[in-house]
């Protein structure tokens, strides 16, 4: 009994495996789509540039920064494109008559006219071919001529990259073919030419650091691979429709470059567009360390870090918003009062460039929820409340991405609740002071563009 059950299970597993393998072979074009995607990516990644004359702007940096995977459709989408290719090159079912579909390639390559093609395909004079088959042959012949002359255009891919619109258009075109692939006469070897046009169009604004308005690059590569209408096991070859082999002769060349208009000169010789921000960053990290001193209070050590995002331009100057965290503590000083306060919340900052834009005046607001503890003369209290402060300062940009500066708190408002660890008594302190407690900080700012 156990032996019978084991045999039944084995037979079931074999049947399931066979069904899975059969199903996989029934749709070999999915693998063809995956193969095509890898082939196009190899051309885009490994193509060698054909040098052209330089211009006042440089599009090559934009081109190299575009992730190649974004320019090629998924393998599932390309599997559908494989269907289009196969439907174009395959003979109509009624004309196959037991022959492999790729017989049309061989016949077409030696035929100069429709009549020659029909005679070579059906081995009889064209006038003797029934009219219904003549119509099918003519329809296929015209479709094949267009395919061999112009190829097939894949669906364009459109992506946004660093403010620019990028469109990738890929064409697949057969160049030549011959009977037999890897010594198998039942498969056809086809040489293909795959071209991809990458069209980059950018707005001429303050974010466009390369001053490129439009650039068009052409990628071109050749591949050779097998084709068969059917999936067959008889020749010890896994069945497939069409495959693309190793890429050869992959090159790319710039075919068009249009630069943004040159920016007018200022008195000091630098170039500034009158309607754009000067040297502003899209995103930057702000870190600062300093001291906070008051007349009759303990000196505090202050540290802060935040991330600021460019939001808009006010009066032609950049305005930023982002989260920020600030820590104030006396634990690092020789103080009788030990306190630590943490402030977390949104911040906003406005910048006014001076001269050539490397020096900028800063003004900002830092707000949020503050909490911490105070330990004074043996008594400990927990604190919590709302704090808002206004600061000003100056920043000097060392290069395109790094700047150093000095910040100064101008005034602060706080509404803080003090609650002892033991007991239920709480007190609230509301204060608004101007230069009553002064905070000086040195800042380091790093651009993340």
pLDDT of residue 425: 59
Give the integer Cα–Cα distance in Å for 79 and 33: 4
Q: Are 371 and 360 in contact (CB under 8 A)?
A: no
pLDDT of residue 369: 93
pLDDT of residue 100: 46
What DSSP string runs through 120-187?
HHHTS-GGGS-HHHHHHHHHHHHHHHHHHHH-EEPPPEEEEETTEEEEEEEEEEEEEEEEEETTEEEE
pLDDT of residue 216: 94
Question: Tokens 């567009």 sit at which residue?
Answer: 273
The two structure tokens encoding residue 107 = 């016949």
pLDDT of residue 71: 92
pLDDT of residue 26: 46
pLDDT of residue 15: 42
The two structure tokens encoding residue 326 = 């600030």
Q: Are 387 and 412 in contact (CB under 8 A)?
A: yes
Burial 190-226 (b: 16+ CB within 10 A, else e): bebebbbbbbbebebebbbebbbbbbbbbbbbbbbbb
Note down pLDDT in tens along the chain; length 449 residues. Answer: 445 555 554 444 444 443 443 444 446 677 888 888 899 998 998 888 877 776 778 888 899 889 988 899 988 889 888 888 877 777 665 565 544 455 676 777 778 888 988 888 888 888 888 888 888 888 888 888 888 888 999 999 999 988 899 999 999 998 887 777 766 666 778 889 999 999 999 999 888 888 899 999 999 999 988 877 554 444 434 445 788 888 888 999 998 999 988 755 444 444 333 333 344 677 889 999 988 887 667 788 899 999 999 888 787 788 999 999 999 888 766 667 788 889 999 999 998 887 556 788 899 999 999 998 888 766 788 888 888 888 999 998 887 778 899 998 888 888 888 788 766 555 555 566 665 677 888 998 888 76
Q: What is 283-447's CATH number, 2.40.160.20, 2.60.40.1120, 3.90.76.10, 3.90.199.10?
A: 2.40.160.20
- The H-assigned helical ranges of 205-310 are none
Q: Are 361 and 394 in contact (CB under 8 A)?
A: yes
pLDDT of residue 276: 39
Choose among 116, 94, 97: nearest CA to 106: 116
Burial 252-263 (b: 16+ CB within 10 A, else e): bebeebebbeee
pLDDT of residue 365: 93
68 DSSP assignment: G
pLDDT of residue 231: 41
Question: Tokens 């407690």 sit at which residue?
Answer: 437
pLDDT of residue 20: 42
Q: Are 251 and 341 in contact (CB under 8 A)?
A: no
Cα dist. 321→311, 339, 351, 358 in Å? 7, 29, 12, 21
Give the integer Cα–Cα distance in Å for 135 and 447: 67
R_g (Cα) of the chain, nearest Å: 36
What is the phi/psi pair of residue 63, to 5°? -60, -45
Give the integer Cα–Cα distance in Å for 37 and 68: 11
242 DSSP assignment: B
Question: In the chain, where are the structural domains located?
Answer: 28-259, 283-447
Cα dist. 306→66, 129, 134, 258 in Å? 28, 80, 75, 38
The two structure tokens encoding residue 353 = 């460039």
């Amino acid at each position: 009994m156990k032996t019978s059950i084991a045999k039944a299970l084995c037979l079931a597993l074999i049947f399931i495996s066979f069904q899975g393998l059969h199903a996989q072979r029934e749709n070999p074009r999915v693998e063809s789509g995956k193969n095509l995607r890898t082939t196009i990516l190899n051309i885009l990644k490994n193509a060698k540039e054909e040098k052209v004359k330089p211009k006042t702007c440089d599009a090559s940096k934009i081109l190299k920064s575009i992730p190649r995977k974004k320019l090629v459709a998924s393998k599932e989408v390309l599997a559908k494109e494989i269907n289009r290719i196969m439907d174009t090159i395959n003979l109509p079912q009624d004309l196959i008559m037991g022959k492999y579909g790729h017989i049309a390639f061989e016949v077409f390559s030696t035929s100069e006219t429709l009549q020659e093609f029909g005679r070579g395909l059906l081995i009889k004079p064209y006038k003797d071919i029934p009219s219904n088959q003549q119509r099918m042959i003519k329809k296929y012949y015209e479709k094949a001529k267009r395919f061999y002359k112009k190829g097939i255009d894949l669906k364009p891919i459109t992506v946004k990259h660093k403010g620019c619109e990028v469109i990738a258009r890929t064409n697949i075109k057969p160049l030549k073919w011959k009977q037999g692939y890897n010594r198998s006469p039942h498969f056809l070897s086809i040489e293909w030419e795959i071209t991809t046009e990458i069209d980059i169009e950018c707005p001429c604004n303050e974010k466009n650091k390369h001053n490129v308005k439009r650039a068009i690059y052409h990628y071109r590569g050749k591949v050779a691979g097998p084709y068969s209408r059917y999936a067959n096991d008889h020749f010890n070859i896994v069945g497939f429709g069409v495959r693309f082999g190793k890429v050869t002769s992959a090159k790319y060349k710039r075919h068009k470059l249009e630069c943004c208009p040159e920016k007018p000169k200022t008195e000091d010789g630098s170039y500034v567009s009158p309607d754009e921000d000067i040297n502003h960053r899209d995103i930057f990290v702000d870190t600062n360390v300093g001291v906070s001193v008051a007349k009759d209070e303990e000196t505090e050590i202050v540290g802060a870090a935040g991330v600021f995002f460019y939001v808009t331009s006010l009066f032609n100057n950049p305005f930023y918003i982002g989260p920020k965290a600030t820590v104030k503590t006396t634990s690092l000083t020789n103080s009788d009062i030990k306190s630590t306060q943490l402030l977390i919340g949104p911040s906003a900052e406005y910048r006014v460039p001076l001269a050539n834009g490397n020096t900028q005046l800063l003004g900002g607001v830092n707000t949020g929820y503050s909490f911490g503890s105070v330990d004074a003369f043996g008594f400990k209290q927990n604190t919590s409340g709302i704090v808002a402060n206004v600061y000003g300062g100056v920043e000097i940009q060392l290069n395109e991405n790094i700047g150093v500066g000095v910040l100064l708190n101008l005034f602060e408002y706080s509404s803080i609740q003090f609650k002892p660890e033991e007991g239920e008594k709480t007190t609230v302190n509301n204060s608004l002071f101007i230069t009553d407690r002064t905070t000086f900080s040195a800042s380091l700012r790093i651009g993340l563009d």
